[in-house]
Structure 1
Amino acid sequence: MTKKFYFVLASIFIVMLVGISQGGLTESSEARYAEIGREMALSNDFLHPRMLGIGHYHKPPVTYAITALGYKVFGFNEFGARFFLAVALLLQLLLVYKMGKLWFEDRKTGIFAALIYFTFPIVLASVLNLTTDAYLNTFILSSIYCFLVAKLKKKKGFLYLGYALLGIAFLIKGPVAFLPVALFMICYKISTKEPIKPSKHTVLGILLLLGISASWFIAIVLEKPNLLDHFIEDQIVKRSVDASQFKRSKPFWYYLAFAPLLCLPWTVPFVYVLIAKRKRLTFTPQLKTLGFSCLAILLVFSLFSSKLIFYILPLYPLLALFFAGVYKQVLEHEKNYFLLTYKVGFGILTGMAIELLCIPTFEYKIWFSILALAAIGSYFYWWNFKTKASKSTRLFALSTGATLILLLLYFSFAPQNELLLRSFKPQYAFIEKQRKDTKDYKVIVYDYRLPSAAFYLGDRIVTVTNTNYESLRDTRFERDSSWTQSYIDLRDPNNYERFKSLLKDSTNIIITKDRRPIPDSLEYLTKHFEVEAFGDWRVHY
């Protein structure tokens, strides 16, 4: 069974590698991380993240550095930007398997947990777009695994490794990295009734953690002391308390309502078992730790006003392990119900695929779509009516196969519907075509910030901000005026003349959005441009 599991992991990794470069970079988060990584790779400056030529200190630099490494190996393209996301998914699946095998002392439970985890929609979403979340989840999960090995196998080296990995997690997204690990360890202590007696190894490990976590912040603050207030007030206090500043404020119940939806259809049979068949369950210390950890993460993150769904991504490896532990106990009695649930889920998937083909807004390669539907139908028919495999094998074949088919459909769908997915690669290709014989031209992005423009068109981008807060840049920490070559702030009337001169140059390109056109007072300067529409965006050339 283990060999088959590793074959499935290899298949998942291959599918990811084949499809990871499909579709252009999407705005705004993915393009932002990709562009900062590109500028880091070009400058070889891994200490100062920069975006569009201006310092960007919203996050520590590890995600950007990983992305920069991808470019160094594979070039400046979508595959280079996203390659390590595929690696992150593979590592997460291996870690979930290893944790399940170690903690439940059962290889099959580890395999169940990994395959359940792979099918969670939120997991796939986190590795299909470049952000900090997949990498943060990988380091948090690896840290928890190391702590478990240190506890259960009495290997002190893993304790130090766990603290070191948690320190790197801090350098991905800051203090939020500590919360899931701390909550898990607290729940572990309570469930196992283990006394809290910090050893010298724990103290030394915490010192190692603090040293790694603080390393970049100390280096950068020593160089630019005014960044200290920025880190504390803007990036910690305001993000946690005043979420309205970042448009991320959500009600307390937000996670409680949406978290179960992000692990469908598994939620349905497990809720049924936990409510209707709870007398058959033995809540071991392992299940108690996992269950309490999941609840603790949900409740604690719900207390923060700033909420994005990926903030609770570290919940889902623990939830997959909890589901696998429950499933192993009720396997003989309730497997028909589990299998029926996934048959229904697979049928819904088929219906959704057919329905999507009928929506005229979407574009498809018709022959690929027909083949995909035939593959879905054949796969479903085989695992339901023909195979003599066990019900557990059928269940996980259906769930894993359905997820792989979803991935393949997405990889086919993405490059054909880039504008719908907020990838503006088609308009950049149009610009390159229009100016293929011109070297010295500028692309003026009016009242929006489009890091993807720089990724695809290079350092010719000039961002012009007027009334849109999203286009504002923080230039407090710049030591020279080189940034003024790529940024114009029209809130300063002195910058109008430079903006006018750019509009008068017919070799330049202007990108606008319908909601924020060029001001009427300057519209006369764009009369000599032709206009090409890309959704609600306009390219003036």
Structure 2
Amino acid sequence: MKSKYFRITFLTILVIGSLLLATANLWGVTETSEARYAEISREMMRSGDWVHPSLLNIHHYHKPPITYWLTAISYLTFGVNPFAARFFLVIAYCLQIYLIFKIAKELLADEQKAWYASVIYATLPIVLMAVKGLTTDLFMVTSMLAAIYCWIEFLKIGKYLNLYGFALFLGIGFLTKGPAVFVIPFFSIISFIGVLPKPRFSLIHYLLAAGVFIVVGLSWFAYLIHNDQNLADYFIYHHLVDRVAHAEVFARRSPWYYYLPLFPLVSFPWIIIFFRYLFVKLNAGESSIELMVKRIVIWWLLVPLIVYSISSSKLILYILPLFTGFSLITAYYLNLNLGKRMVLNAFVLMSLLYLGLAGAPFYGHGIYLQKWLALLPVSALIISSYFVLKEINYKQVFIKLSLVFTGTLIIYSAFFLQQNILLANGISPITEFIKGKKLINRPVLVYDKLLPSLAFELDKDIISIYAGDKSLIREVQFEKDEKWRNSYIDLNQQSDKDKLQQLLSSKVVVVSKKKLLKEMEATMQGWQSKSFGKWTLYYN
């Protein structure tokens, strides 16, 4: 029979997972990352080519294919829609909560603390951000956690099957996001030295495990490089060295302290407990659990944070793996003496946020929200107030406050995005207009902007017009023929200018975020147009 805390963890997964799935289709995919992954997966599914990813019909080898494969399978099951694009994200999120519970149970030797860790992880804003938008990060963290759990079991039980599981999940993680999967497992293994039993060693088993990793993790890379030697330099130098040392190549160079001010924001409210006890001196006579927690602080959080900060390529979801260790540490701290003042501080901050959310539908200033949405944060505030006034177990109060806060954020953010999708870099109103006007069978041209969300939501190929925008500088060195030119017009070439004029002389749709070239404006005189925020749609 499963324990009480296992059942509560399962219930937590069921409720939050259901909320995420129920709201996953309320808003369209958003630019840039989510739309890019969603469209690559759509093209993979439609073309039947599961080896060579393409974006707007040009090969796109920036990431390994696991994310595309999972999403394409989801399209085959649920159709091409935002729910399908996000379905396996929610499944991965639920698996992570379960894995955090299992890892915490092994490392903290307490099922109650394991439940705390799973709730903390499940309710972190950065984790909710990751599960609401399709990227590789959440999938990679799932395989990373599975690998760490297998390694812990290998250390404790000594069965080589767990060693093979460790290699298998590292391979899956590598096939999801490349070498990034190694960072946390490498440092977590260091944190176990001297606390958990030493690993058994058999050369043949370690070699076989290495073989499992190679076959799984390197298979796709090896196949592509075998067919095109130029891809070796592309993978190693352009997408490994440049991302670490020359992020300006990808237009995302950030200062070393980029993550420091963001860390507290994406870990609220648990950061309150974390900082309160981080520098508290534990008992002089360290138990193995206390030693493990200190090791996790150093090797699972601080050292990897330095590593991520040194890299010149930075996005907030890159540090998502850190919050697995953060959840374990904070779960241990939560079991210490949690005072009333700390709970009240968290409640006050949450109350201010609820009041801000309740007032948002009445602000105006470019944000549109239906008035009824204000009832959600108001209800959450009332429920939270009840918990604070009635409950005397402050640990339980803090957990209940965080769960209510999470449920509110999930539902409120879904409706916010639905009602303000243009502000969130989505284009659903444009695609709805095209379908409503029965223009979908016409060629759709996008002027000087990479817009995969339009192709995804129309479920058809579009034509990109390059007039100088950097987002439309495509890597075509791996194209085997000239078919890609059917989806790409370069206005620096006269032949493409002529092709554009020929297209504009027929029935087409043009979508633009900026002023058109004078030659295009002259050709399109008398066309109908409609504005959608910063976007304008033209049709004849």
CA distance in 2, matches of 1:191, 1:19: 43
| Unmatched segments (≥5 aa) in structure 1 | none
Match in the other structure for 2:368? 363
Asked if 1:257 is matched to 2:261, the reply is yes
* Partner deviation per Cα, 1:11-65 (whole Å, 9 max, x = no partner): 1111011011110010111111111111111222211111211211111111000
* 2:240 is the counterpart of 1:236: yes
Q: Tell me the amino acid that sits aligned with residue 178 of structure 2.
A: G
One-letter amino acid matched to 1:322: I
Q: Find the residue that maps to 1:263 and give its secondary structure.
A: coil
CA distance in 2, matches of 1:280, 1:415: 54
Which moves more between the two structures, 425-434 or 342-351?
342-351
The aligned residue for residue 425 of structure 2 is: 422
Whole-angstrom CA distance in 2 between matches of 1:495 and 1:15: 48
Deviations 1:466-524 (A, max 9, x none): 2111012211111122211111122222211001112222x20111112xx22224320
Return the match for 1:296 from 274, 290, 303: 303
Alpha-carbon offset, residue 368 of structure 1: 3.8
1:377: Cα distance to partner? 2.9
The answer to whether the 8 A contact 1:443-1:462 is kept is yes
Q: Deviations over 1:330-389 (max 9, x none)?
A: 1xx33424422332232122122123233202222222433x144213311321223x46
In the alignment, is the contact (CA less than 8 A) between 1:265 and 1:341 conserved in 2? no
Residue number in structure 2 paired with 1:120: 124
**1:223 lines up with 2:223 in the alignment:** no
CA distance in 1 between counterparts of 2:118 and 2:377 reads 27
Deviation digits for residues 124-150 of structure 1 (CA, Å, limit 9, x no counterpart): 000100011111111111111111111
Seen in structure 2, the aligned counterparts of structure 1 residues 45 and 142 have a Cα distance that, compared at 3 Å, is same
Equivalents in 1 of 2:271, 2:145: separation in Å? 22
Could you say which residue in structure 1 is the equivalent of 2:438? 435
Residue 284 in 1 paired to residue 284 in 2? no
2:338 is paired with a residue whose SS is helix
Deviation track 1:235-256 (CA, whole Å, cap 9, x = no partner) reads 1111111111111111112223
The one-letter code of the counterpart of 2:436 is K
What amino acid is aligned across from residue 289 of structure 1 in structure 2? R
Matching residue of 1:533 = 531
Counting only pairs closer than 5 Å after superposition, residues 96-245 of structure 1 correspond to structure 2 as 96-189=100-193, 199-245=203-249
Whether the 8 Å contact between 1:20 and 1:86 is mirrored in structure 2 is no
Tell me the alpha carbon deviations over residues 266-303 of structure 1, each in whole angstroms, 9 at most, x when there is no partner. Answer: 22232122335655895723202211121111011111
Contact 1:140 1:181 in 2 (8 A): yes
Q: Structure 2: which amino acid aligns with 1:423? A: G
* Equivalent pair of 2:358/2:373 in contact (CA under 8 Å): no
Give me the whole-angstrom Cα distance separating, in 1, the residues matched to 2:209 and 2:342. Answer: 43
Provide the rounded CA distance (Å) in 1 between the counterparts of 2:285 and 2:358. Answer: 39
Asked whether 1:326 is paired with 2:345, we answer: no
Aligned position for 1:413: 416
Describe the superposition over 1:212-234 as per-residue Cα deviations: whole angstroms up to 9, x where unpaired. 22100111111222222211221
State the partner residue of 2:395: 392
Question: Which piece of structure 1 moves more, 19-28 or 477-486?
Answer: 477-486
Cα RMSD, aligned residues only: 2.1
Q: Is the 8 A contact 2:155 2:197 kept in 1?
A: no
Structure 1 residues 497 and 254, CA, compared in 2 at 3 Å: closer, same or farther? same
Distance in 2 of aligned mates of 1:428 and 1:327: 48
**Equivalent residue number for residue 44 of structure 1:** 48
Structure 2 residue 320 is matched with structure 1 residue 313: yes
1:445 CA displacement: 0.5
Query: Is the aligned partner of 1:512 residue 2:519?
Result: no
Identity across matched positions, percent: 32
What is the distance in 2 between the residues matched to 1:87 and 1:537?
A: 34
Greater Cα offset, 142-151 or 359-368: 359-368
Q: Is the 8 A contact 1:512 1:538 kept in 2?
A: yes
Q: Tell which deviates more after alignment, 348-357 or 494-503.
A: 348-357
Amino acid across the alignment from 1:463: S
- Rounded to whole Å, the distance in 2 between the matches of 1:492 and 1:234 is 27
CA distance, structure 2, for counterparts of residue 425 and residue 75 of structure 1: 17
SS in 1 for 2:445: strand
Counterpart Cα distance in 2 of 1:151 and 1:196:
7
3-state SS of 2:496 partner: helix
Residue range with higher mean Cα deviation, 458-467 or 8-17 = 458-467
Unaligned regions of 5+ residues in structure 2, if any?
none
Do the aligned residues in 1 keep the contact of 2:361 with 2:370 (CA within 8 Å)? no
Aligned partner of residue 538 in structure 1, secondary structure: strand
The answer to whether the 8 A contact 1:189-1:196 is kept is no
Task: Report the number of matched residues.
Answer: 531
**CA distance in structure 1 between the aligned counterparts of 2:210 and 2:276, rounded to whole angstroms:** 41
| Change in 2 beyond 3 A, CA 1:196/1:358 | farther
From 42, 54, 57, the equivalent of 1:53 is 57
Deviates more, 1:126-135 or 1:299-308: 299-308
- Contact kept? 1:24, 1:424, Cα under 8 Å: yes
Post-superposition Cα deviations, 1:110-169, rounded to whole Å, max 9, x if no partner, equal 000011112211110001000111111111111111111111232321111111111110
The equivalent residue for 1:501 is: 502
